[in-house]
Every structure is written in C-alpha cells, then in structure tokens.
Amino acid sequence: MLSATERGRYLEPTLDWALSRSRLSARDRAFATHLSYGTLQRRLYLDHVLAPRLKSPEMLPLAVRWILRLGSYERLFMRTPDYAAVHAWVELAKKEAPRLAPLVNAVLRRVEDDPGAPAWVKASLPAFLWRHWEAFFGEIDFAHAFNEPPPLWVTAFPGAEDALSAEGVPFEPGPIPGSLKLGVPNLRALAAYKKGLIQPQNPASLFAAQLVGARPGERVLDLAGGAGIKAAWLAATGARVVSYDLNPKRQAAGQKNLRRLGQKVTFKTHDLRQPLAETAPRVLLDAPCAGTGTLRHHPELRYRLEPKAIRDMADLQRRLLDTAAAAVKPGGRLVYAVCSLTEDEGEAAVRDFLKKNPAFTPEPIPGPLPWLRKELGAYVRPEQGLDGFYYARFRRAPLPSPG
C-alpha cells in the first residue's frame, strides 16, 4: 500500500480497498492502519535518520525502502521492542529481496532519533509550507497535529445514534451538531452505514455546509460538489440541492451514495470556469484546493506539494468565486470554503473577491470550532482530529426598493 503511494496513489482508498479484502482481525486492522498512516506521515524524517546508514538509498528497491521506513517507525515512534520490530521486517526483506536482508537487519538495529534535525524535517513537512505557516499565523505548534492518528469521523443522520448503540459501537459527539467520532476500524461493516444513517466526513467539512444556513424548501447550489457529501447533509435538512462538478465519475459515485443515504440531490456536470444558467438564494463553493489542511488523513500530499501548485489553485479559486458570485440571487448568501491553510487560497482570495464584487459584504463566522486565525474569514485549527479549513461567508445586497 505504501509503495503504491510513491507511485501516485492515495493511502486512504488504497488502505480501505486492501483491508476490505483482508481476513485481519479488528485489532490487526487497527494496527495496520496506524502503522501505514504513521509511517507515511513521518516519511521525510524517517528518510533523514536512515540516510547516514545507507550509501545510496535511492538505489534500493522500493519495497526495501518502505521496509526500512516501517521498521524505523515501529522502533522510534511506536516503541515496539527492538527484537520484535527488527525481526518482523528482516523476515519480510528475506522474501522481497533476500540479498538485502542483512542490510535491513544492520540498519534497523542502529537507527536512532536525531534531535538536531531541522524543525520541518522533524515534522515531515515541506520547508516552504512550514515557513509560510510560521509567518502567516505567527505560530507553528498546530502543525505537529498533522502527525497524529486520524480519527474516524462521521456525519450522523436521524436515527444514527440509536442504531450505533444497538450495535454496541462506541462513539462520542463531535464538536458540532450532527458529527460523531466512532471507535471502530471497519465502518462499512456496520449496519448503521449500510442503512444510510452515517457518512464518513470530518466535522470541519460538515461545518462548511452548515454555514449555508439553508431553510427547508430553499434552493441551494453546491458548486464543485464532487460526490455530493455536503449536498447530502443539505438535502437532509430539507433544502432542494443542485450539485455541480466537472467530474461525472465522482457524480455517479455520489448518486450511488445518495441512494444509500436516502437523500435526493440533482447532479449537473459543468465547468465552473464558465457561468451558470441559474441562480439561487444560497450558494456553497467548496473549491478545489491544495489540501494543506488534510495532511493528517492524506499524508501523501505533503510530499507532492509545490509553491506553484498552490498559486495555480489560488488562480482557479478566484475564477470559481466569480462564477459563484454571479449565481447568488440579490439578498442571498455565498459560502466559500477550502480545506487548505494558506493565505493565497484564503484571505488573499477573499480580499480580491471583495474588490471585484462590491455588492457582497462579509458575514461573521460563528461556531464552536477552534480557530487558528479569525480576521477576514476564519481558519480552523487542525487539532483534536479536525481538518484545517478556511471559510468566508458573504451576503449579496438586495435589489433597491422601487421608488
């Protein structure tokens, strides 16, 4: 699974696919999940501490590089007894690359922490992103939360808590209404999931939909809606939702999931760089972004990030905001959200938007989430399992009264 991430795959769906076909016990599934996420989250630091003990690490087979990282993670971060951690990975090396098993054994027995490593290396984060966060937010402590185990968050639909209790599933309330944290390793095996009573979703993502404030029967446009996860919650509150996205495959998967949830959403495929043919009193734009707020459960992203990619995303977001603004009826509300923690994709985008669109006025961002920065819009502090998000909410001026 980890080798696949180095070839461009994403860990979350790869892990989900592999575990769904495995015969591992619940305990072993949880261990495999923790080991996979932890090793990928710490990959930069693990490579740093391994480098002095390897002449040409880039020349090693991919599987052997991951064996060394996994064994080092177990020894340095999980505190597995040395004999157990080393032995297990040496045995695997004998199957994958027998001639290199002695090397694996020698390196894993000698690997150790480096207290003098640069701060961003210790956190396994890109240096440019670390420096940006430190300068923009005035602190950096929050960044270490991206290396914590990702909890299993779900959005709960009516009847979910009773169903989970009946199954004996441990859960606790999340920081906002409708959000729960589950204590199970296999979500899709639950009856509550099969009945459409729960949907995997981080509370910070759910909160973007709640900011829309849609009333029953009110029309909502969900722009860049993907598979319609936020649209499903809006539909459950009684809103009439139209979800737009460029990717018809994601929308087809969304339709299937909406049937499981028992919710109705209209999907329309459209390039949102072009104007829409309709307007609504409530518009949500959860724009494509660099994903820097999701590095806990998408750890592979940190090794693919580049400053240019963030600038390109910011340019796209500004174009999509223009489309979204034109789709808001006079007197209506626009919510802009990104699961990213950069100035370009957040406050800078909103400053540009307000200069171009004087009919829109910022509205305050309420709510109980922990805030990292709350000036023009609000950035969610990515702690306690929350994704980092940025939100901005606007009201469009109503039409002038006749006379």
- Could you list the active site residues? 339
Q: How does DSSP classify residue 242?
A: E
Concatenate the DSSP letters of all residues of 116-172 into one string.
TS-HHHHTT--HHHHHHHHHHHS--GGGGGGGSPPPEEEEEPTTHHHHHHHHT--EE
Cα–Cα distances (Å) from 74 to 67, 123, 170, in that order, read 11, 17, 27
224: left (phi over 0), alpha (psi -120 to 50) or beta: left
> Tokens standing for 184?
């199970």
Q: Distance (Å, rounded) from C-alpha 267 to C-alpha 255?
A: 8
Q: What distance lies between CA 362 and its chain's CA centroid?
A: 26
Secondary structure element (H or E) that encloses residue 337, with its range: strand 328-338
Those residues whose C-beta lies under 8 Å from the C-beta of residue 96, and which sit 6 or more positions away, are: 61, 63, 64, 67
Amino acid in the structure at residue 12:
E
Given a contact cutoff of 8 angstroms between Cβ atoms, the answer to whether 42 and 77 are in contact is yes
Question: Beta strands of 159-239 (E only): which ranges?
Answer: 171-173, 179-182, 198-200, 219-223
Chain centre distance of CA 171: 21
CA angle 396, 402, 403 (to 5 degrees): 130
